[in-house]
């Protein structure tokens, strides 16, 4: 059964509005993979055989849908607090979809009592995650032929999670 989390985000133009839904893998895997395959496999040349892994079944997934209900972005949260598979279709980038996906992911992580969120950021995406409060740690490494860095965000304790607000672009 899908989780309902209909949050309409309006970036000032109806054609750019979208919703974020929290969904489960069993009922939405085909839709989630449609976005992930376009971004990771087709655009970034990640091998298709490593796009789906053992973590998909146990993760909480987030799906961004445009005003017509077409999928435009994804993210997932693993039980240990790792965020992954953040993907936004190229025509929807810089319109707030990634920020909204991360906001929902971090909200759910906080609700579940996760105190520290981690992710493997593509080096080119480090500025995006840094704006959300993430900090880099450790050396650069290769993942699927793409340079990455480990990043983390403390959700509790002395470092308070920054409020992620618009404008969503």
Dump pLDDT digits (tens) for 67-96: 999 999 999 999 999 999 999 999 999 999
* 168 domain-assigned: no
Q: Is 47 exposed, middle or buried (0-12, 13-18, 19+ CB in 10 A)?
A: exposed
- pLDDT category at 8 given cuts 50, 70, 90 is very low
How far, in Å, CA of 63 to CA of 65, rounded?
A: 6
Weakest-pLDDT range from 12-21, 59-68, 125-134: 12-21
- The answer to whether position 160 is within a domain reads no
Residue 24 lies in a domain: yes
pLDDT score of 13 more than 90: no
What rounded mean pLDDT belongs to the chain? 87
Query: pTM of the entire structure?
Result: 0.85
Q: What is the pLDDT of residue 163?
A: 52
- Is 2 domain-assigned? no
pLDDT score recorded for residue 6: 43
Residue 169: inside a domain, yes or no? no
**Cα distance between residue 125 and residue 122, in whole Å:** 5
The pLDDT assigned to 120 comes to 96
166 within a domain of the structure (yes/no): no
Percent of the chain's residues with pLDDT above 90: 79
Peptide bond into 45 cis (omega under 30): no
How far apart, in whole angstroms, are the C-alpha atoms of residue 125 and residue 79?
A: 23
The reply to whether 149 falls in a domain is yes
Structurally, how many domains does the chain consist of? 1
For CA atoms 58, 60, 62, 68, give the dihedral sign.
Answer: positive
Phi-psi region of 12 (alpha: psi -120 to 50; beta: other; left: phi over 0): left
Q: Is residue 163 part of a domain?
A: no
**Rg value, the chain, Cα:** 15
> Tokens representing 129?
């995650």
| CATH assignment of the domain containing 117 | 3.40.630.30
Q: Which domain holds residue 106?
A: 7-154
């Amino acid at each position: 059964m899908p989780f309902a989390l209909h949050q309409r985000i309006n970036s000032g133009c109806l054609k750019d509005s979208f919703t974020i839904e929290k969904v489960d893998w069993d009922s939405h895997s085909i839709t989630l993979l449609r976005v992930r395959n376009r971004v990771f496999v087709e655009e970034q040349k990640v091998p298709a055989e490593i796009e789906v892994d053992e973590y998909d079944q146990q993760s909480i997934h987030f799906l961004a849908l445009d005003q017509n209900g077409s999928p435009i972005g994804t993210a997932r949260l693993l039980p240990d607090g790792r965020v992954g598979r953040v993907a936004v279709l190229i025509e929807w980038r810089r319109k707030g979809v990634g920020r909204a996906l991360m906001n929902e992911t971090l909200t759910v992580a906080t609700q579940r009592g996760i105190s520290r969120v981690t992710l493997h950021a593509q080096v080119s995406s480090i500025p995006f995650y840094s704006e959300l409060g993430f900090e880099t740690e450790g050396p650069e490494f290769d993942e699927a032929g793409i340079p990455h860095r480990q990043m983390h965000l403390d959700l509790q304790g002395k470092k308070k999670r920054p409020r992620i607000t618009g404008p969503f672009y």
